[in-house]
Structure 1
Amino acid sequence: MDLAGVAPAETLVPSTTDEVADILRDTTGTLMAVGSGTKVGWAAPPASCDLMLRMTGLDRVVDHQPGDLVVVAEAGVRLSALQKQLAQHNQMLALDPPEDGATLGGIVGANASGPRRLRFGTVRDLLIGVTVVLADGTTARSGGKVVKNVAGYDLGKLYTGAHGSLGVVVSTTWRLHPLPPARGAVVVRVADAAQAGRFEALLSRSTLTPTAVELRWDGAAGELVVLFESIAASVDAQSDAAIALLGTGERVDTPPPWFGERPRGGIVLRLAYVPHALPDVLTALPDGSSGTASACTGVAYVSVPSDTDLAALRTTIAPHDGSAVVVEAPDELRDRIDHWGPVPDSFGLMKRVKDQFDPGRRLSPGRLLGGL
C-alpha cells in the first residue's frame, strides 16, 4: 500500500501495544500508522514515510459491558465486525461512515462519521477513552470505561482528526446505544437550492427527532431523506408529521441506496458550514458538482470538477463559517493542490501542540494543515 502516492520504505504489522511502543522507541525515521487504508487520502500526502505501521494486527475487542453501554476495542478492529458483535446484545456504536473495512483507529484519526451524526454526534461525542503511543514510545491513556469521566486531559478529542500526527492510537473506548426497534424514512424531491434551505429550516426548528436528514444533490436539484429510528409507533407518527410539515413526501421502509454514501470522482471535498447556509453553499458549487449533505448539521461531501478553483470556492463559503477540505483527488493533482485551505489564527497553538507531542516531526509529517 502506498500512502497518498508516497511508498513507505518498510511496513510492520504490530499485534500488541508493547510492540507499537518498542517500534516508536527504536525508530528514528518518519512513521505513519494506517488501518485498512480507506481514508489515507483524507489529508495531505506525508512529506516522507520511512516506516508504515499497519494497525490491523491490533484487532481485539478487549471488553464489552452491555449493562454499562460501553465497549473497549483495539484500533485495528473493523467497525463492521464490532457492529455485528454488538448487535448480538441489541446494541450499536452509533457511527456510520460508509468506507468498507474502516477500522476504529482510522475512524478516530480521520474524524469520520455518517448520517447518524445528527442524532448521536460524531467521534468526539462517542469516544470516551483512548490509549495512544507517543513519539518517544511512551504509552498514554485518557478517559475510562464510564461515560462520565473528567480526570486528566481529554486526549480523545485531541487525537480525533489528527491523522496520526500526534501519536499512534492503539485502543479506543466507546459509548454505545441500543439498536432501534424500528426505522422508516420520508423521501422528498427538492426542486432547487432555495427549497433545500427551506426544508432544512423547517426540520431544524421542529420538534421532530430524526436520526438523519440527508440530501443528495446533482447540481440543480436533489432528493431529501428524513430517517426516523425509534419504536414503531414513533416512527409512524413522526413520518406523518414530517410530510405534513414539509407539505410533500413519500414514506418508505428503507432509505434509497445512495443514503450515507460519499461521492467519487474528480476532487471530493468535505464542506463544513453553518447549517442555515445550505442554499448558499449549494449555489456556490461549480457546474458539474454533485454529492450529499447532512442537511441539518452543516456537513457535505461533494465531488467537484478537477479544474475547480478551490481558493475561490473557499473564499465564497468563508462568510458562512465555511471550509473545504480535500478528501480525494486524482493522482495527477494530489501533490499540488491545497488540501486544507487557509491557515487559521489558531495555527500557532497547533504548532505548539505538535512540538509538544512530536518534537522530531516524525509522525505523519506534512499531513496536517500548514504542513505540520
Structure 2
Amino acid sequence: MALQMIGAKELHAKINSGEPIFILDVRNPEEYNDWKIEGKNLESVNVPYFDFLDEDEKNYKDLPKGTEIVVVCAKGGSAQMVAEILDEKGYTVSVLEEGMLEWSQFYHPVTIAMDEHMKLIQLNRFAKGCLSYMVISEGKALVVDPGRHIEEYIQVANKEHATITHVMDTHLHADHISGGPELTEKTGAMYYISSSEMKEAKHNFEPLDKHNHFQVGAVDVKVLAIPTPGHTPGSTSFLVNDRFLLSGDTIFVGGLGRPDLGGKAREWAQSLYDTVFTTIANLSDDVLVLPTHFADIQEINANGFIGATLGEIRKSNDIMRTENREEFTERVVGAVGSSTPPNYEEIVDINRGVVDVTAEKATELEIGPNRCAVHHN
C-alpha cells in the first residue's frame, strides 16, 4: 500500500480543524527539543530515526493503533523510511512530504478585520513565529514585515484584486530574512524602513522618518508611523485607522521585544521604557496590538490570529506597569538570557543588502524557532 504524503497546508488544516493529531518526529532529540510542530489538540513524541533500525518494541510503546500518525523529519526522507516500517506493522501513517523544511516555509493568512473601506490580513508563518500584515483598500495594498517568500503576498494581493503599493519593515529583522526589497522590485512598490536601521545599506529604501502618515486607498485608511525604539533604535510601529497597532517586535501579546541584539541591552532598554511609558502611553486600551512575532502557539486567539488589546496586555503583563525606570531596565535586561537568534549578524547584513545569499543558504540560515519574542510575566 502506497504511503500517504501530505503537505504543510494539509497538515495545518488538520491541526486547525480541532481533530486530534499525533505527530511522530524522528529527528534527533536536540533538534526536536529546540524546534518542533506545535498546535492545539496535537500530541507529539520524539523517537529518533536510528532507533527504528533496531527491532526494539519500546520504540512503539507510545504510538497509537487506529489513529493516524504523521511522521516528520528534517526533509522527508527519514520519515518515509520510518513510515514504511510502521505501515508494515499495521499502523495508520502519513508523511509530511518535505518535513520541517516545508513546515518552515508555510504561511497561513487570516482576516483580522474587514469593513466597506478596508481589509486587514495577518499572515502567520507558524514555524518561525513570524507574523506579517496586508492592509487592503480600494484596490491598493500595503504590506508590513513581509517574509522572504514574496509569492505568498503576491498571491493574497491577486486574490483580493489589489496592487501592492507600499512595503514596510517595522525594523531591521535579525531572525529571518525580509522580503521587503525583493517584493518592491517585483511589484514596483516603494520600500520603507527607518534610516537608522539601514546605515551602510545597499538596498534602495525610503526613510520612514521622513513620513508621519501614509494614504492607502480610501481617505479614512490612514497609517500613522510611530517611532518605538527599544528592540532596535529605529523600530517603528504603525497605527491603522486609530484601531490597529502593528507593533513590530516592540510589544508582544506576552511581553516586550528583546533589546540586546545590538550589544547595547541597557541603553536600548531605556529607549524601550520611553516607548512604553511615553510614546504609547496615551493610546487607548481598545487599540488592538498586532506584533511581528509570537513565542507560543497558545497565543493564537479564538478568532485564529495573534493579537490582543493594549488594555489586555497592560493588565496581563506586569512589566507594562513597571513605571520605575531602573526596575524596568533591570527586568528587561535580565529576561533576555543568552539564547540569541542563530546567525543573526549574517541575517542583519543580508537585510541591509550588504551580503547576498542563495535561496538554499537563506533557508539554512532561517531554520529554527523565533527568538526575538521575550516574555515578561
TM bucket (normalised to shorter chain) is under 0.3
Calculate the TM-score normalised by the size of structure 2. Answer: 0.26
